[in-house]
Amino acid sequence: MFVYLDHTATTPTSPEVMKAMMPYFGEIFGNPSSVYSFSRKSREAIEKARNQVAASLNADPSEIFFTGSGTEADNWALKGTLEKAKISGKNHLITTKIEHHAILHTAEYLHKVEGVDVTYLPVNSEGFVSVEDVKNAITDKTALVSVMFANNEVGTIEPVKEIGALCREHKIPFHTDAVQAAAHLKIDVKAMNIDMLSMSAHKMYGPKGVGALYLRRGLHPENFIHGGAQEHKHRASTENIAGIVGFGEAMEILQGRLEEDKALNSARRDRLISGILERIPHAKLNGATGDNRLPNNINFSFIGVEGETLLLDLDAKGISASTGSACSSESLDPSHVLLALGLKHEMAHGSLRFTIGRLTTDEQIDYVLEVLPEIVSRRREMSPLWEDYIKSQA
């Protein structure tokens, strides 16, 4: 049996999305920037997708800008805003210790190269950022607050609406990385006080290589990519028409089945969580619980074993999972997210992330619950860390 439980890393492109994309690989190939009538179809396809994405966020189509990825959207939001803020003498960025590396590495760059002062806010043991901590970190030099909507490793959903309201009160732009959240949660940028928001199509059964940045009307960060006049002169580069069409189609499909997906994912998530807790002693669930957690996310630490070893054993049984962020899966360092939650290095090293999707079945969940306990038990029998832990509990 093959079981794919790494939907946070990427999702399969749905057949409906692929069907919508196909004409733009060959039949409708005109450059949208050209003036002749043949290219009008390409322009119209992009604008249709822009409307589809905007509708899903309760945004205006003029506030949606397509990018090459969620990472690019994050880079644009941070670098563009801080560069523009130099004019008014503001050089302070507030973010958190559990952000995706697309944010963290961009913040590091801004500090090292541009001299930006960066505040990294802590989180509690479940991964929540304190609104009060955000408030206390704000200074008269603060140019931007960037807090992810939901964490990609442990699934904790942050108090975005409240943070956004605080930023609005202080007249500070608020950006949120919603690359994971947009695939599972209803987002209303107006009601949630969001000024900038990053998304990626391949997390929601769309194609890889296309993302979007929502920019509230009136915000004008510096452009990140320079060249042509595409995306209303804000993002140069000939558009990925097929990818953009796929993004729009994926978003529209998602909105139509958001509650259905949430219900199914939540039920299977909770079933897998309770099964692991019942069958594997000393297993620790990382992150928040219930509605405060992404409906498809499960993250456990198993004392006495290495997460990488468990991944290899699971792979041999046909189960695909992750030890954390897929973008850094080759790193042997413990998860920065789990360390920020207060886990010790040995616990952070022994973590597994399972993320379920539309095609996940109850039979697959049963198979994981059949296979995983035996794997953990066998690896613990060979582990000196487990032996030391058992002695410490005696």
- For the chain, how long is the longest CA-to-CA vector? 79
Q: Identify residue 190 by its one-letter amino acid code.
A: K
Separation CA 376–CA 307 (nearest Å): 10
Cα–Cα distance list, 9 to 12, 183, 261, 335, 390 (Å): 10, 12, 18, 15, 34
Q: Identify residue 152 by its one-letter amino acid code.
A: N
Q: Strand, helix or coil at 245?
A: helix
> Nearest Cα to 127, choosing from 292, 290, 265, 277?
292
Active-site residue identified among 229, 263, 277, 327: 327
- For the CA atoms of the chain, what is the radius of gyration? 22
- Buried b vs exposed e over 206-237: b needs ≥16 C-beta within 10 Å? bbbbbbbbbbbeebebbbbbeeeebbeebbee
Q: Fill in the DSSP letter of residue 291.
A: G
Q: Fill in the DSSP letter of residue 6.
A: B
> Nearest Cα to 196, choosing from 180, 182, 217, 175?
175
Q: Where are the beta strands (DSSP E) in 60-181?
A: 64-67, 92-96, 117-121, 142-146, 174-177
> Nearest Cα to 6, choosing from 311, 379, 278, 371?
311
Is 167 a residue of the active site?
A: no
**Catalytically annotated residues:** 327
